[in-house]
Structure 1
């Protein structure tokens, strides 16, 4: 069946999903907020702080969104030294495993989903995440760094003389 889109599509509102992907076991800590500001991000950091055992350090890999770099977030992080924030270089979100998880969410729930309201969307997302966490799957690299770099080098050599 071809994908259908109506000409009169209307957005009913938005929600922001904050998600932390545990690379060791594949579980996800998440929160939905109607806004995406430093205030909401700090609430999410607090949720992570409560969910992760105190004896563990927390390494966050974040994109370069300004929300993650505000003074308020910096102050919160200064008071929570077990949190270590790492930022992905621009354009390299593919190395951030939570981005792969977001792709699963998009493919399996959002892309062709029908959500009559923001509340319905949020309920569906929460249910999908609960189902994911009931049987979490960590992502495993099957190639070594050398194999990946060799493949990239072959590709670059093929396209460098492409004539365009």
Structure 2
């Protein structure tokens, strides 16, 4: 990443971000940390926020528990079929 004088460096995203296999665990983790830690506090500075996040991560790692699926494959597939049916109905209703 090159920088021009007086310009901020722009991040370059690489990789296939469409793959749910890699995105889903990230989204779950950031959702958890946001709900359980970040939204619950008031922070006087970015430094205080960073300390809170690092403290939460250390606590999470100390008491780590793996994510477990609570739905069966059949339940998940039934929900997918239901959503597909509803989306098709919406598309058909909007095309009239």
Same fold by TM (over 0.5)?
A: yes
**Structure (1 or 2) with the greater strand fraction:** 1
**Structure 1 residues 137 and 121: alpha-carbon distance in aligned structure 2, compared to 1, 3 A threshold:** same
Q: Greater Rg, structure 1 or structure 2?
A: 2
Q: Is the Cα contact below 8 Å between 1:109 and 1:128 reproduced in 2?
A: yes
Query: How many residues matched?
Result: 84
Gap regions ≥5 residues in structure 2: 1-8
Residue of structure 2 aligned with 1:136, choices 64, 67, 82: 64
Of 27, 35, 40, 1:107 maps to 35
1:61-110 alpha-carbon deviations (Å, 9 max, x no partner): xxxx61xx3xxxxxxxxxxxxxxxx74417x5895212201111101121
The structure with more helix, counted as a fraction of residues? 2
Q: Which moved more, 1:115-124 or 1:135-144?
A: 135-144
Residue pair 1:94, 1:100 contacting (<8 A) in 2 also: no
C-alpha displacement of 1:125: 0.8
Whole-Å Cα distance in 1 between the matches of residues 71 and 45 of structure 2?
42
What TM-score comes out, normalization by structure 2 length? 0.65
Relative CO higher for 1 or 2, CA cutoff 8 Å, sep ≥ 6? 1
**Structure 1 alignment gaps of length 5 or more:** 1-34, 38-64, 70-85
